């Protein structure tokens, strides 16, 4: 009888030990536990091609995230349709926190207004994690352009309606919005030449003589400006832009610059809350690290690392602004 009871006790203990071991070594369902996340590599989908401004900050974020998370972070470029192809792919991925996306205010705030069928059209159709950077739009021309200043640009555009061809990184992006505002406020007409794969294509068109000017971002233009191939005419900002501190501010015509191009990290709806919390914590460590801050400053990215609901509110304000422009 004693032997039987002892055997039963041993058996029961073994069951408990096996159960504990299973919980502790859970690499499948255990991925949803924020305290364990991440246990494998993460994929960051970037909805633009290489060569523009979005890709460098995304790759720097991925490198730093890998350091603080202790795992690999792979960047996957999925350009097209003003960024909607890449973000759509990310939002349709398994909501486990292992596929994240870089979204911009133009993709998340503007695209749903003109294309309400996108899977991220509703504000609650994805989960915002953090804002990693923002930056102003810059108006630039080839170095050999006869347009030497922003005043030259305005004068020429007024005298030659529609003749100036201006490239930018896509229809319904913040660059497109700023150009529309500028034309209305200054009483000019230009021909916009949008590209779907990002600023790299826009810059190539400018350098190749296919356009007369470009409305692009500092990180995209930086190397060409430093090499003497491109000249900056002005910046859509309310204060001096550190990357081009001598460039005049395009605010004299009452341009609304309250919607600067911004970059966010988002995940699909359905990611467990504890994973969201852990990813947010890791992301905050990244954007607050000295190495990330230095990279951002050197390359012209500005910082405003808001998270969660503040990101959602900001995107909502961008969307409201765009709706008013298209009313």
Where are the domains positioned within the chain? 39-134+262-325, 137-236
Decide: helix, strand or coil at residue 258. coil
Provide mean pLDDT across the span 55-68: 97
Query: Tell me, what's the pLDDT at 35?
Result: 64
Instruction: For 199-236, write each residue's pLDDT tens digit.
Output: 888 999 999 999 999 999 999 999 999 999 999 999 99
More confident position, 174 or 154: 154
Distance separating alpha carbons of residues 250 and 257, to the nearest angstrom = 9
Provide mean pLDDT across the span 245-264: 86
The DSSP code sequence of 171-214 is TTSHHHHHHHHHHHHHT---EEEE-SS-HHHHHHHHHTTS-SEE
Regarding the domain with residue range 39-134+262-325, which homologous superfamily does it belong to in the CATH classification? Bordetella uptake gene, domain 1 (3.40.190.150)
| Neighbouring-strand partners of residue 133 | 263
Ranges 7-21, 90-104, 133-147: which has the least confidence: 7-21
The DSSP code sequence of 120-161 is T-STTSEEEEEEEEE--EEEEEETT-S--SHHHHHHHHHHST
Query: Tell me, what's the pLDDT at 255?
Result: 79
Instruction: Examine the pLDDT at 198 and tell me if it is beyond 80.
Output: no
Which CATH number does 137-236 carry?
Answer: 3.40.190.10
Query: Tell me, what's the pLDDT at 34?
Result: 53
Instruction: Examine the pLDDT at 29 and tell me if it is beyond 60.
Output: no
Tokens of 96: 């486990």
Ranges 1-10, 43-52, 224-233: which has the least confidence: 1-10
Instruction: For 292-312, write each residue's pLDDT tens digit.
Output: 999 999 999 999 999 999 999
Ranges 23-27, 44-48, 133-137, 171-175: which has the least confidence: 23-27
Query: Tell me, what's the pLDDT at 199?
Result: 83
Provide mean pLDDT across the span 254-283: 93
Angle at 261 between CA 241 and CA 114, to 5 degrees: 155
Query: Tell me, what's the pLDDT at 4?
Result: 40
Query: Tell me, what's the pLDDT at 18?
Result: 36
Counting beta carbons within 10 angstroms of the beta carbon of residue 229, is it exposed (0 to 12), middle (13 to 18) or buried (19 or more)? middle
Query: Tell me, what's the pLDDT at 321?
Result: 80
Please give the C-alpha separations between residue 116 and each of 109, 240, 242, in angstroms, as whole numbers.
Answer: 11, 36, 37
In 3D space, the residue among 89, 84, 82, 80 whose CA is nearest the CA of residue 45 turns out to be 89
Topology match between the domains 39-134+262-325 and 137-236: yes
pLDDT band at 49; cut points 50, 70, 90 = confident
More confident position, 265 or 24: 265
Distance separating alpha carbons of residues 282 and 201, to the nearest angstrom = 33
- Tell me the range of 50-59, 149-158, 317-326 where mean pLDDT is highest: 149-158
More confident position, 110 or 166: 166
Instruction: For 114-131, write each residue's pLDDT tens digit.
Output: 889 999 998 889 999 999
pLDDT band at 70; cut points 50, 70, 90 = very high
Ranges 10-24, 25-39, 88-102: which has the least confidence: 10-24
More confident position, 259 or 113: 113
pLDDT averaged over every residue in the chain: 88
More confident position, 2 or 248: 248
């Amino acid at each position: 009888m004693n032997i039987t009871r002892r055997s039963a006790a041993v058996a029961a203990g073994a069951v408990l030990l096996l159960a504990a071991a299973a919980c502790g070594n859970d690499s499948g369902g255990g991925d949803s536990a924020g305290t364990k996340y991440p246990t494998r590599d993460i994929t960051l989908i970037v909805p633009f091609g290489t060569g523009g401004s979005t890709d460098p900050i995304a790759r720097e974020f991925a490198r730093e995230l890998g350091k603080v998370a202790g795992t690999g972070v792979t960047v996957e470029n999925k350009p097209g349709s003003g960024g909607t192809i890449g973000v759509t792919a990310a939002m349709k991925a398994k909501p486990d926190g292992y596929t994240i996306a870089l979204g911009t205010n133009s993709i998340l705030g503007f695209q749903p207004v003109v294309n309400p069928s996108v899977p991220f059209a509703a504000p609650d159709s994805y989960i915002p994690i953090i804002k990693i950077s923002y930056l102003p739009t810059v108006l630039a021309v080839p170095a050999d352009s006869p347009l030497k200043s922003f005043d030259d640009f305005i004068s020429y555009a007024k005298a030659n309606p529609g003749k100036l061809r201006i490239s930018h990184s896509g229809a319904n992006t913040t660059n497109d919005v700023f150009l529309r505002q500028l034309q209305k406020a200054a009483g000019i007409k230009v021909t916009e030449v949008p590209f779907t794969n990002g600023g790299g294509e826009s810059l190539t068109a400018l350098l190749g003589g296919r356009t007369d000017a470009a409305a692009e971002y500092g990180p995209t233009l930086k190397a060409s400006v430093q090499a003497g191939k491109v000249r900056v005419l002005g910046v859509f900002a309310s204060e001096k832009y550190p990357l081009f501190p001598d460039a005049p501010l395009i605010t004299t015509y009452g341009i609304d610059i309250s919607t600067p191009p911004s970059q966010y990290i988002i995940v699909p709806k359905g990611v467990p809350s504890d994973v969201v919390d852990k990813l947010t914590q890791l992301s905050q460590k990244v954007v607050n690290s000295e190495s990330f801050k230095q990279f951002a400053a050197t390359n012209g990215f500005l910082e405003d690392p808001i998270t969660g609901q503040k990101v959602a509110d900001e995107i909502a304000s961008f969307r409201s602004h765009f709706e008013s422009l298209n009313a």
